Amino acid sequence: MVTEFRIERMGAQGDGIVRGSAGPLFAPLTLAGELVRGEAEGERILLDAIVEPSPERVEPPCPHFGRCGGCLLQHWERAPYLAWKRQMVVDALAREGIEADVAPTIDAHGAGRRRVIFHARQYGARTVVGFAERKSHAMVAIDACPVLAPGLDQALPAARAVAEALAPLKKPLDLQIITTDTGLDMDVRGSGPLPPALLTDLAVIADRFRLARLTRHGELVIQREPPRLAMGRARVDLPPAAFLQATAEGERVLADHVAAGMVGARKVADLFAGVGTFALRLAETARVFAAESHAGALAALLKAGHTPGLKGVDGEARDLFRRPLMAAELAAFDAVVIDPPRQGAEAQARELAASRLPRLVYVSCNAATFARDAALLVAGGMRLEGVVPVDQFRYSAHVELVATFSR
């Protein structure tokens, strides 16, 4: 039955929420305070119309908004959207009983995202390249994406050319593309082994679009020159499908806050170090030990660590979930930076809490797991000095943060 609903608040995934008789109802693409018309189906409201729009509602910049699952909040004015992201961090900490100074959210979109994963699917003779609809395997063919950095201008045509070349395989493909200082770096996944003729076709496409490198599941197809990025004064030759901060501005903001928390430290540990986002910058003033489970990322970091003028970078390939640095090992450092994946770093947080480490900077991409780990650190005697939310994923419900602890 079609009914009118008043949206009460915004949920953690960016949906409007209404209280229903059997629990909350979620209304995608709505805003708090709006009166909407629709039909409840399970936990969701199938939207028919916005009867009374919020004064915070704006015109979405992308023609694919509403179908593409990538950007769910293009209809929300920037200031309240950023305030909502800050509040998500405040709420996550409050659930763990932690009061902290949480700064306003920093808009770190900058020039746009510098990495993207396109999906390619075959529908009969038609090749569709784009993104998935939200909570669906259905594909949305796109012709442009407003959140991508200018360096990715040729990413979509290149992805489409690769997908069409591999269309005879009739396999679902994922194409990860990164813009680097030396050109686009593309990794193709899902194709399986390729016959020589298709490898030759891919090499021709890579040359046509002047890709720095093209790999398949990390295996080299062709490389015109190493995909390289500057990190401080160092230059890093990236491994295939490298993890990077989503935007160059986001990397700069996070790195600046990390550096500010490490002033005066002479020996630093960078845990979950990746390709050296923080380690290589910190090595300009301190000796750095880097721990990272991905061997290719660590090798790239250590190679870049030989840059003249750096004070030295050592490292170890180490699974910090199964084998965290123990409290006794942490005693060797003046400060630590930690940047775990979304699941946080509970085992490592317990060892940090048990140590006598004087300073810690925690970078997180998940407010809930950060708050869980922060509670362990506070219980272990560390003081949470402040938290800075950072928005690299404009129009999404995703928020990152950098927090400083001291003892």
Which residues are catalytically annotated? 365
Tokens of 290: 């880097």
315, containing H or E segment: strand 313-317
Measure CA 279 to chain center.
Answer: 18
Please return the burial class of 37, using the count of CB atoms within 10 Å of its CB with bins 0-12, 13-18 and 19+.
middle
Would the CA dihedral through 53, 56, 58, 61 be positive or negative? Answer: negative
End-to-end CA distance of the chain: 58
DSSP 8-state symbol, 104:
P
What whole-number distance in Å separates Cα of residue 286 and Cα of residue 212? 33
What whole-number distance in Å separates Cα of residue 281 and Cα of residue 283? 5
87, containing H or E segment: helix 78-95
Half-sphere exposure (Cβ direction) of 385: Cα atoms closer than 13 Å:
14
Residue 16, SS3 per DSSP: strand
* 235 closest CA partner among 300, 166, 330: 300
What whole-number distance in Å separates Cα of residue 227 and Cα of residue 235? 10
What whole-number distance in Å separates Cα of residue 217 and Cα of residue 297? 15
Residue 390 contacts residue 106 (beta carbons within 8 Å): yes
What whole-number distance in Å separates Cα of residue 83 and Cα of residue 107? 11
DSSP string of 323-380? SPPPHHHHTT-SEEEE---TT--HHHHHHHHHS--SEEEEEES-HHHHHHHHHHHHHT
Tokens of 304: 């870049």
Q: % helix / strand / coil in the chain, to the nearest 5?
A: 25, 35, 40
Beta bridge partners of 223: 213
DSSP 8-state symbol, 246:
S
Tokens of 353: 């809490």
* 229 closest CA partner among 217, 214, 204, 212: 212
